[in-house]
Amino acid sequence: METRWIIAQDVDKQLVKGLSESLGIDEILTTLLVQRGITNYDEAKNFFRPSLDHLHDPFLMKDMDKAVDRLQKAMNDGEKILIYGDYDVDGTTAVALIYTYLKNFVNKKKIEFYIPDRYDEGYGISYKGIDYAADNGFGLVIVLDCGIKAVEKIEYANERGVDFIICDHHRPDEVIPNAVAVLDSKRPDCQYPYKELSGCGVGFKLITALSMRLGRPIEEVYELLDYVAVSIAADIVPITGENRVLAYFGLKQLNKNPRPGIEAVLRQANIGRKKDVPATEAEQGNALEREMTISDLVFLIGPRINAAGRLEKASDSVRLLLATNYDHAEKLAASINDLNSKRREFDNAITEEALQMIDADEKLRNAKSTVIFNENWHKGVIGIVASRLTDSYYRPTIVLTRSGNLITGSARSIKNFDIYDAIDDCSDLLEHFGGHKYAAGLSLKPENLKEFSERFEKYVSEHLEEEDLTPELNVDIEMDFTNITPKFVRILKQFAPFGPGNLSPVFLTKNVVDAGFSRAVGNRKHLKLSVMQQGNTDFVFSGIAFQKGDLFERIHEKEPFTMCYYIEENFWQGKTTLQLNVKDIKF
């Protein structure tokens, strides 16, 4: 599929020059800063040197005072508290965060966690969960990463005499549930300055507020930032504002002294502790063989934590995250790693089946959207399959399967298309839906599937232009290889953590040729490059270009090309080297 390159618009050259002089750095780097809205020395200082002092007062969040009052009352009165979270990474890290903090102050017999079963109870607050709380004497439930739409369920909980504090970050409907407190900065009546916290991030604000009220050292809360960093990465929320600060310090903690459960997961992913740094001396420096990035959390930790909830019980993931004993953590991590391998087998098989279905159906092939259903597909992996189909066909995609008497599905979108709004437009045909601009979940009765598919396709057709269905690659700036100096790379690393809202900069370089050592690898699917610019043998760089193996012959013949890439570090056999990760090539 051809990719459109969108070159960033020029920025104010005088502004760039002035900022470059005040910071003493390259104008290419200051251009990248200005593109990110950083226009003066103080903003640059805050960007390069995040501080926990930059976090907002949690009491600015609507209902925070009510939440803390109710939680304190439960603690003082010795009530039983149930911590209830969604079964994905954001939900399980949030449960682990709240549980870890509260067990310092609450009798262990008075606190418990609960993760709804994906298959038996479905997404969000369930009637079964409410009954469990009521029947087992829990006076207060803290619900995390779900609940903002549970209006009827909260009414039922009120009837059963169970109070709820909701900590969510999804978009609410017009009616807010009648819980004791509803913490969600996306509430229209919430004046909290930052709107993009993860579910775990909202939980973090709750324990920050509680810590302030209790007069406890704030460091006790900051010790839990590794949970928040994992949630930010896995839930793909913007790494801007507060999230950037939380991710920065959470990553620092993960690199310095990962907790047993996370370290056990890393070992399953073949990233261990440095041989010369015993666990007890981790504070002396980075404890891991290489520095973890947001990307590692997304691709190595997130899928493994998610695997338990996708295939079996997400409560195993919480137990792993809470583990304090290394041997216990190792056993849990090994079991979850096996589930992750099984999950990969399922999603590869289902993706292949779905691609064949689309290919065999002319109407599906030529549609502007993909809505595809098979009652035998595994519910736990359809979200991943939806993402893979979106990558293959680059259009809004919904993958559906059978769940009891209903059809349930996961939706994924493309750039500039709000799939939540598209689903909302068909909401009269649905039993339930929720989510974000780019990802959502839904359920409907089988008899509504045909009409839903037709109306969804109609909405997509009316709201997308043809060019929107061509993948875009956003390019930050054009430069020559001569700009890639050690100082340049050192400062560029300080732009991290990278993620939505602060993506790793994509550079464009022209007149690139093979330096003589490029080769096709991985069954000739990919390219391992050795490249330079024509006429300049002083700057030769290694690169990797995934899924570009078909271009090898032209590159080998030294045909000049233009390439877009980002700069990364590659860790292999104990050595770290600079690598250009090539996103696209045009001759």
User: What topology does CATH give the domain 50-215?
Assistant: inorganic pyrophosphatase (n-terminal core) (3.90.1640)
Decide whether 4-49+473-586 matches 50-215 in CATH topology.
no
CA gap 193, 61 in Å, rounded? 8
Kindly tell me the burial class for residue 29, based on how many C-beta atoms sit within 10 Å of its own C-beta (0-12, 13-18, 19 or more). buried
Residue 234 has pLDDT above 50, yes or no: yes
pLDDT-derived band at 1 (thresholds 50, 70, 90) equals: confident
What pLDDT is recorded for position 541? 97
Q: Residue range 126-132: average pLDDT?
A: 97
DSSP-derived secondary structure for 197-265:
--HHHHHHHHHHHHHHHHT--THHHHTTHHHHHHHHHHTT---SHHHHHHHHHHHHHHHH---HHHHHH
- Band the pLDDT of 572: cuts 50, 70, 90: confident
Band of the pLDDT at 285, cuts 50, 70, 90? Answer: very low
SS3 36: coil
Distance between CA atoms of residues 520 and 545, nearest Å: 10
Please state the domain extents for the chain.
Answer: 4-49+473-586, 50-215, 361-469
Question: What pLDDT is recorded for position 283?
Answer: 42
Write down the H helix ranges in 406-539.
419-425, 449-463, 486-493
Residue 275: which pLDDT band, with cuts at 50, 70 and 90?
Answer: low
For 86-124, the pLDDT digits (tens) are 989 999 999 999 999 999 999 999 999 999 988 788 889
Angle at 467 between CA 464 and CA 473, to 5 degrees: 115
The closest alpha carbon to 227, from 344, 144, 109, belongs to: 144
Average pLDDT, the chain: 93
- In the beta sheet, which residues pair with residue 5? 473
Question: What is the average pLDDT across 319-337?
Answer: 93
Are 460 and 417 contacting, i.e. CB atoms less than 8 angstroms apart?
Answer: yes
Q: What is the DSSP letter of 485?
A: -
**Cβ burial 510-534 (10 Å sphere, 16+ → b, else e):** eebbbbeebebeeeeebbbbebbbe
pLDDT at 58 over 50: yes
Higher pLDDT, 13 or 283: 13
Q: Among 34-43, 174-183, 304-313, 321-330, which is the least confidently predicted range?
A: 304-313
User: Taking Cα atoms as reference points, which of 165, 236, 168 lies closest to residue 199?
Assistant: 168
Q: What is residue 274's predicted lDDT score, i.e. its pLDDT?
A: 59
Of these ranges, 52-66, 330-344, 427-441, the one predicted with the greatest mean pLDDT is: 52-66
pLDDT of residue 39: 95
pLDDT at 273: 63
**pLDDT of the residue at 308:** 84
Whether pLDDT at 282 is above 50:
no
**356 exposure class (CB count in 10 Å sphere: 0-12, 13-18, 19+):** exposed
Compute CA 102 distance to the chain's CA centroid, rounded to the nearest angstrom: 26
**CA distances (Å), origin 41, targets 362, 376, 485, 504:** 56, 57, 23, 21
Burial 315-344 (b: 16+ CB within 10 A, else e): bbbbbbbbbeeeebbbebbebbbebbebbe
* Residue for token pair 């595809």: 372
Token look-up 């790693």 returns 337
- How far is the C-alpha of 558 from the C-alpha of 576, rounded, in Å? 28
Task: Kindly report the length of the chain.
Answer: 587
Whether the upstream peptide bond of residue 497 has omega within 30° of 0, thus cis, is: yes
Q: What does R_g of the chain's alpha carbons equal in angstroms?
A: 25
| pLDDT score recorded for residue 281 | 45
pLDDT at 287 over 70: no
The pLDDT, as a whole number, for residue 478 is 97
Percent of the chain with pLDDT over 90: 84
Q: What number is the average pLDDT over the span 373-384?
A: 93
Across the range 478-502, mean pLDDT stands at 95
The mean pLDDT value for 288-303 works out to 87
d(CA 385, CA 305): 18
Mean pLDDT of 41-62: 96
CA distance 237 to 250: 15
On the question of pLDDT at 145 being above 80, the answer is: yes
**Rounded-to-integer distance, Cα 344 and Cα 303, Å:** 10
SS3 at position 133: helix
In the predicted model, is pLDDT for residue 126 greater than 90? yes
Q: Tell me: pLDDT of 467 over 80.
A: yes
Q: Count Cβ atoms within 10 A of the Cβ of residue 73 and give its class: 0-12 exposed, 13-18 middle, 19 or more buried.
A: middle
Pairwise CA distance, residues 481 & 566, whole Å: 12
User: At which residue do the structure tokens 């779900």 appear?
Assistant: 146
Overall average pLDDT of the 433-461 stretch: 94
Residue 15 burial (C-beta neighbours within 10 Å; 0-12, 13-18, 19+): middle
> Tell me, what's the pLDDT at 312?
80
Residue-level pLDDT at 284: 42
Q: How many helices (H) and strands (E) does the chain have?
A: 22, 19
Average pLDDT estimate for 483-492:
95
CATH class, range 4-49+473-586: mainly beta
Mean pLDDT of 337-355: 94
User: What class has domain 361-469?
Assistant: alpha beta
